[in-house]
Amino acid sequence: MSRLKIETPDQAQLTVERLYKDLERHIIASPPGLCPVDLQLSFLKVCHAQTCGKCVPCRVGLGQLQKLMEDVLEGRATMKTLDLIESTANNITDSADCAIGFEAAHMVLAGLVGFREDYIHHIKKGKCSVRANHSIPCVALCPAQVDIPGYVALVGAGRYADAVKLIRKDNPFPTACALICEHPCEARCRRSMIDAPVNIRGMKRKAVDEAPANTVPVPEKAASTGKKVAIIGGGPSGLSAAYYLELMGHHAVIFEEKAKLGGMLRYGIPNYRFPRVRLQEDIDAILSTGAEVHLNSRIGNAPGEISFDELRAKYDAIYIAIGAHTDKKIGIEGEDSHGVMSAVEMLRAIGDENPPDFKDKNVVVIGGGNVAMDCTRSAIRLGAKKVVIAYRRRQDDMTALPEEIEGAIAEGAELYGLQSPHHIEADENGNVAALWAEPQIIGPIDAWGRARTIRKKVDLERIPADIIVVAIGQGIEIAPFEEAGIKIKKGTISALASSELANNEGVFAGGDCVTGPATVIRAIAAGKVAAANIDEYLGFQHVITCDVNIPEPIIDDKRPCGRIQIALEETGKRKKTFEPIECGLTDQEACQEAGRCLRCDKFGISALKGGRTTKW
Amino acid sequence: MVTLTIDGQQVTVPEGTTIMQAAASIGIEIPRLCFLKDINEISACKVCVVEIQGKQKLVTSCSTACQEGLVVFTNSPKARAVRRNNVELILSQHDCLCATCVRSGNCSLQKLSNDLGIYDIPYERQIEDVPWNQEFPLIRDSKKCIKCMRCLQICDKVQKLHIWDLENTASRTTIGVTGGVDIADANCSLCGQCITHCPVGALKERNDVPKIYDALADESKVTVVQVAPAVRTAWAEAFNIPAEMATEGRMVAALKKVGFDYVFDTNYAADVTIWEEGTELLERLANRDRNVWPMFTSCCPGWVSFLNMNYKEFVPNLSTTKSPQQIFGALTKTFFAKQKGMEAKDICSISIMPCVSKKREAALMSMRASGKQDVDIVLTTRELIRLLKSEHINPATLPEVPFDNPLGSSTGAAVIFGVTGGVMEAALRTAYKVVMGEEAPMDAFLNVRGHEGRKEAEFKLGDVTLRTCTVSGLGNARKLMEDLKAGRVRYDFVEVMACPGGCVGGGGQPIHDGEELACARGQKLYALDEARALRQSHNNPDVVELYNKFLGKPLGELSEKLLHTDHVKEKNYQ
């Protein structure tokens, strides 16, 4: 008889471990519009199955809570039931030995607050208050509601130009989104329930690589309405609105402050992520509708500028889509030293093909968002000796996409987490010498689930720097609009969900200037919404549609299959140039990946309700 | 074209053909339940599953298009087992008290289960029991509902009233009235199309047959029954008798056998309708500027309630003439009662209708011209069949008997009231005579016939050009109303029937799952019209006598009192 032995998991344990992973993915891909009480009950059952059975509140209490919640769901409960659920859960929270019990009860209590109305609806009406908004998960999560299963199927069938046409029904920037969309569509992809989400962006990338946007003709325009719409800002939102307004037969006239169109797509996103030639493909296609463009045209009251009132007088409607292009300051000592620049400044200079000289310099980038990563990776490409990212929280807390952070680190950036900027040290000539940072430790978690930082009881840390790039967000240049009587709220233009401005008839606004700095797809979606509502405002009901027919799903077993990732150029090579770093998909890869799509437009509830939207 | 193999047979079909259709083309009927062609192709019940060689997952044959080279097995051990299991699961949530179900013997689930040889269910029963307003003419029995979604789909896609909606989520997903309101408050037109497309007994009309027994047993009452035109095309469908025996005379004989004192014909009232409505149309035409256009027919209570609930501003466009059912009821309790020396209270007035909406119409407060409810009991065609069966009447053994008189005579014009375009054609035959002074050729108005949902035509009546439109189905009616509202179309006279194809396809007619019989039944009415000696309402001698002896003239004082209404929205429309 041995005294000790090495434990190895048996078959049952291994299977359960795998099932945990399966359930995790199942929950990630949870569709919207579920009954919260029903879900809560299911979670409670899982928690109860975890109980060790020793303590009364957990062993018995969690079971009794389930029965009470079943009473609610079956229409047998009264308001007294709700009180009993609450007091029982409170008891479990206060007396259970371990987290299995008290955390389970916590979840119940959170639900009693968070969706109390639904509990009451069940009790009083005997049914659920949730109005299931049946939709295709990826389409529902795309701000522009692009017909994703449709174009994925078209890519699978090798019909790339048709895919571009279908994307354009809802998004006139297929190339931009193929290269740099943050793909919220993939977040709840039902394929995750089997293995991993479909690489939706990769599919779109394949479409525009094979059928560049400027080679796919735009649809025929509706007859001219004689109406003219002024669009302030030639970025993704303004250009999207212009595209649809032109298709509807209105004349769109774009006023762009800078020398070139594209907005943040040109002046914010570096070439290695989104090559200018590819941006031009989208812009050329959009302008082929006949939209008129005035470059170097600023709206304002200074000499040489066009006043807002003049636009109001000359146009039937106005769409403000000026984006968010001003800097935000950190507000620390030494910020005015030479060598301190904002992300906007740096990326704009690169966009104007006049890049700053970083050769052999120590660069410190302050910030943790995607723009900070863009600055970091651009600085590396500009020949910096060393690039440090100084961020006051941890890598996990950064808002940048994980692949951007990983990309920056792979290219040689050093990430200094938990370093809160304290002040900037300058030399006798006023040039930056270092960033002094206050080291932090991670602390309690706030109500939004974010860990706060606490000052670490150590000395300040000196990070030597020749250049400091501040990438902590952008603001909006509101002054000319505020003067014209447009309502501003928290530094952004205050627009309704319809993109209309209250009390400003005929004036619409959308994109970053309304939401604050956000994603390109949200800006595009705002342009689409604005176009539809401007059309209505002008007294029309034009319909945007696409006559491309979608292939029938392939009859196939849905066996687990890995997700195809877009390959990157080798690090050593890519970090030296601004050339694009992503490699497109081969036909073989694209076809296999398209075949992973579960075609939620055809199967599941879509066959009954909430299927494809073919027009708007 | 694509070529595939189904159960060992090669078949070549056009691209886009479903496996179910391809199989049917070579004589293989794949079992199905929720499928309803063009309406409900949602592959929900998973009964029509088939196995594809080389694939683990089965596919639903109703929704899967054929692909080149597929090898399909419709009844492999796996397909059979899965199909059977899915039916067992459906049965576990279905109230299988077939003995007391109105659809017993005509239930798709019952037949399927029997055909598959299911005699036992291995699951615990979970029957959903939701209360329902039992007073309403349309009854939903949640215990029978199998959530096939057909009711929701027919109401959404064909009638476009959106009365039904999904309720609750996940495992509790079921069908409810949109917005969670009581059905009586839901703007339901009572077309009954959800009933005739329900594969089981979850939807049915309120059972009014017991009231018939009470009336027959009440010695103080004289029972008078009227039969709508469309009923005679369908009543015999349940009796398995040859078409040539399914005559009006045998139907009358069966009703006599039940014990009704007088068996009359709604057609008589239809002829009266033409006198009134035709005169009204000509009067409106004579005073074009003083009237709203177009004039709508008002025979169909589903349509009248639809207009009241959705396009109230157009209610003045309705002809003020009551429907034939109500004209008949009013005349029965006044004219007929007087003839027989009775009072309204002595008569129990019963109608047999292809319609569920007529049950509500009869109960309206505005339908009491005689001082009492003019029509006391309304039975659907299906209830008539149940009544005859419960009286163990075998129609095949009965000699033919004519309708009673005087409210039993009718012309061909009245007979075609039961089919879309029929009211229009009947009105045109009489209008032509009034304007032109001679009978129209019998082929003059064939343009208004046909099964399309909306038909336009123009007719010359002297120097007047009459622009007509004939619509059936409330989805088409809604489109018509939107076009009228937007000024996209202009008509003078518009006939609308709520049910696709008209009353022959009515919500009270016998149910044949998967078949649309309106067209075939409509042809029967046209055949009856051709066989009638008299084919124009103005030539019905008994109606001529009715005006001479009782009413005076169309739109006269007594006619207005008994036979007209302003169709105001009443509480029980809601």
Closest residue, chain B, to A554 (C-alpha): B67
Q: Is there a domain that residue B563 lies in? A: yes
Q: Is there a domain that residue A18 lies in? A: no
Report the gap between the CA of B411 and the closest CA in chain A (Å): 46
Q: Is there a domain that residue B403 lies in? A: no
Q: Tell me, yes or no, whether B422 and B516 share the same domain.
A: yes
Q: Tell me, yes or no, whether B362 and B260 share the same domain.
A: yes
Question: For residue B572, what pLDDT is reported?
Answer: 67
Compute the distance between CA of residue B155 and CA of residue B419 in angstroms, rounded to an integer: 21
> Secondary structure of A315-375 in the HEC alphabet?
CCEEEECCCCCEECCCCCECCCCECEEEHHHHHHHHHCCCCCCCCCCEEEEECCCHHHHHH
Position B174 pLDDT exceeds 90 = yes
Compute the distance between CA of residue B254 and CA of residue B388 in angstroms, rounded to an integer: 7
Q: How many Cβ atoms sit within 10 Å of the Cβ of residue A588?
A: 9
What average pLDDT does range A204-219 have in this prediction? 97
What average pLDDT does range B487-502 have in this prediction? 96
Question: For residue B574, what pLDDT is reported?
Answer: 53
Question: For residue A327, what pLDDT is reported?
Answer: 87
For chain B, list residues whose CB is within 8 angstroms of any CB belonging to chain A: 41-44, 52, 55-57, 59, 63-65, 67, 70, 149, 152-153, 166-172, 176, 180
CATH number at residue A206: 1.10.1060
pLDDT in tens, A391-441: 999 999 999 999 999 999 999 999 999 999 999 999 999 999 999 999 999
Q: Is there a domain that residue B57 lies in? A: yes
Q: How many domains does chain B have?
A: 4
Cα–Cα distance list, B482 to B162, B310, B567, B568 (Å): 17, 11, 21, 21
Report the gap between the CA of B265 and the closest CA in chain A (Å): 43
Find out whether A305 and A395 touch, Cβ atoms under 8 Å.
Answer: no
Q: Tell me, yes or no, whether B9 and B56 share the same domain.
A: yes
Work out whether strand B222-227 and strand B377-380 pair parallel, antiparallel, or are unpaired: unpaired
Q: Tell me, yes or no, whether B435 and B561 share the same domain.
A: yes
Q: Tell me, yes or no, whether A431 and A453 share the same domain.
A: yes
Q: Is there a domain that residue A247 lies in? A: yes
Would the CB atoms of B176 and A127 count as touching at under 8 Å? Answer: yes
Compute the distance between CA of residue B12 and CA of residue B4 in angstroms, rounded to an integer: 6
Q: How many Cβ atoms sit within 10 Å of the Cβ of residue A447?
A: 5
Confidence class for position A605, pLDDT limits 50, 70, 90: confident
Confidence class for position A503, pLDDT limits 50, 70, 90: confident
Compute the distance between CA of residue A442 and CA of residue A440 in angstroms, rounded to an integer: 7
Q: Tell me, yes or no, whether B421 and B352 share the same domain.
A: no
Q: Tell me, yes or no, whether B356 and B426 share the same domain.
A: no
Domain that holds residue B258: 218-267+326-397
Of B44, B55, B180, the CB nearest to A555: B55
First vs last C-alpha separation in chain A: 76
| Residue of B168, B175, B482 to mutate for A, most A C-beta atoms under 10 A | B168
Q: Is there a domain that residue B545 lies in? A: no
Position A133 pLDDT exceeds 80 = no
Compute the distance between CA of residue A331 and CA of residue A423 in angstroms, rounded to an integer: 9
| Residue of A555, A602, A606 to mutate for B, most B C-beta atoms under 10 A | A555
Question: For residue A33, what pLDDT is reported?
Answer: 81
Work out whether strand B9-13 and strand B2-6 pair parallel, antiparallel, or are unpaired: antiparallel
Q: Is there a domain that residue B67 lies in? A: yes
| Residue of A69, A115, A121, A127 to mutate for B, most B C-beta atoms under 10 A | A127
Amino acid at B436: M
Q: Is there a domain that residue A455 lies in? A: yes
Q: Is there a domain that residue B477 lies in? A: yes
Strand, coil or helix: what is A483? helix
Q: Is there a domain that residue B353 lies in? A: yes
What average pLDDT does range B19-34 have in this prediction? 97
Q: Tell me, yes or no, whether A340 and A449 share the same domain.
A: yes
Q: Is there a domain that residue A578 lies in? A: yes
Q: Tell me, yes or no, whether B567 and B485 share the same domain.
A: yes
Position B186 pLDDT exceeds 90 = yes
Residue B178 DSSP code? G
CATH number at residue B388: 3.40.50.1780
Compute the distance between CA of residue B194 and CA of residue B175 in angstroms, rounded to an integer: 12
Position A1 pLDDT exceeds 80 = no
Report the gap between the CA of B56 and the closest CA in chain A (Å): 6
Q: How many domains does chain A have?
A: 4
Find out whether B208 and A77 touch, Cβ atoms under 8 Å.
Answer: no
- Mean pLDDT, chain B, whole residue set: 95
Cα–Cα distance list, A600 to A135, A156, A603 (Å): 9, 15, 5
> What ipTM was estimated for this complex?
0.84
Find out whether B28 and B189 touch, Cβ atoms under 8 Å.
Answer: no
What average pLDDT does range A342-364 have in this prediction? 92
Q: Kindly provide the residue ranges of all beta strands, DSSP E only, lying in A168-246, ordered along the sequence.
A: 228-232
Position A352 pLDDT exceeds 90 = no
Q: Tell me, yes or no, whether B49 and B21 share the same domain.
A: yes
Residue B455 DSSP code? E
Compute the distance between CA of residue A200 and CA of residue B58 in angstroms, rounded to an integer: 27
Residue A160 DSSP code? H
Q: Is there a domain that residue A349 lies in? A: yes
Q: Tell me, yes or no, whether A562 and A449 share the same domain.
A: no
Closest residue, chain B, to A558 (C-alpha): B57
Give the range among A11-20, A124-133, A481-490, B71-80 with minimum mean pLDDT.
A124-133
Compute the distance between CA of residue A589 and CA of residue A518 in angstroms, rounded to an integer: 31
Question: For residue B521, what pLDDT is reported?
Answer: 96
Domain stop point among B341, B372, B397: B397
pLDDT in tens, A18-62: 999 999 999 999 887 889 999 999 999 999 999 999 999 999 999
Q: Tell me, yes or no, whether A446 and A400 share the same domain.
A: yes
Question: For residue A594, what pLDDT is reported?
Answer: 97
Report phi then psi at A460, rounded to 5.
-60, 155
Q: Tell me, yes or no, whether A310 and A336 share the same domain.
A: no
CATH number at residue B200: 3.30.70.20
Widest distance between CA atoms in chain B: 81
Would the CB atoms of B42 and A34 count as touching at under 8 Å? Answer: no
- Mean pLDDT, chain A, whole residue set: 94
Q: Tell me, yes or no, whether A205 and A107 share the same domain.
A: no
Q: Tell me, yes or no, whether B180 and B76 share the same domain.
A: no
For B395, the enclosing helix (H) or strand (E) is none
Domain stop point among B160, B180, B205: B205
What average pLDDT does range B38-65 have in this prediction? 95
Q: Tell me, yes or no, whether B493 and B414 share the same domain.
A: yes
Q: Is there a domain that residue B450 lies in? A: yes
Q: Tell me, yes or no, whether A366 and A441 share the same domain.
A: yes
Domain that holds residue A334: 328-473
Would the CB atoms of A38 and B67 count as touching at under 8 Å? Answer: no
Q: Tell me, yes or no, whether B287 and B436 share the same domain.
A: yes
Position A576 pLDDT exceeds 80 = yes
Q: Tell me, yes or no, whether B468 and B384 share the same domain.
A: no
Would the CB atoms of A128 and B176 count as touching at under 8 Å? Answer: no
CA B493 to centroid of chain Cα atoms: 23
Q: How many Cβ atoms sit within 10 Å of the Cβ of residue B408?
A: 18
Domain stop point among A125, A150, A167: A125
What average pLDDT does range A265-270 have in this prediction? 92
Q: Is there a domain that residue A548 lies in? A: no
Q: Tell me, yes or no, whether A192 and A235 share the same domain.
A: no
pLDDT in tens, B444-453: 999 999 889 9
- Which residue has 């062609």 as its token pair? B37
pLDDT in tens, B209-256: 999 999 999 999 999 999 999 999 999 999 989 989 999 999 999 999
Residues of B in contact with A35 (CB under 8 A): 168-170, 172
Find out whether B170 and B335 touch, Cβ atoms under 8 Å.
Answer: no
Q: Is there a domain that residue A483 lies in? A: yes
Closest residue, chain B, to A35 (C-alpha): B169
CATH number at residue B82: 3.10.20.740
CATH number at residue B449: 3.40.950.10
What average pLDDT does range B28-33 have in this prediction? 97
Q: Is there a domain that residue A5 lies in? A: no
Domain stop point among A125, A148, A171: A125
Q: Tell me, yes or no, whether A454 and A336 share the same domain.
A: yes
Q: Tell me, yes or no, whether A47 and A160 share the same domain.
A: no
Q: Tell me, yes or no, whether A264 and A342 share the same domain.
A: no
Position B573 pLDDT exceeds 80 = no
Give the range among A291-295, A371-375, B403-407 with minimum mean pLDDT.
B403-407
What average pLDDT does range A184-194 have in this prediction? 95
* Helix locations, B204-343, DSSP H: 209-217, 248-258, 266-286, 301-310, 324-331, 337-339
Out of A31-45, A319-333, A601-615, B490-504, give the one with best mean pLDDT.
B490-504
For chain A, list residues whose CB is within 8 angstroms of any CB belonging to chain B: 33-35, 38, 73, 125, 127-128, 130, 132, 552, 554-558, 602, 607-609
Q: Tell me, yes or no, whether A41 and A107 share the same domain.
A: yes
CATH number at residue A420: 3.50.50.60
Question: For residue A8, what pLDDT is reported?
Answer: 86
Residues of chain A by 3-state class (helix, strand, coil), percent to 5: 40, 15, 45
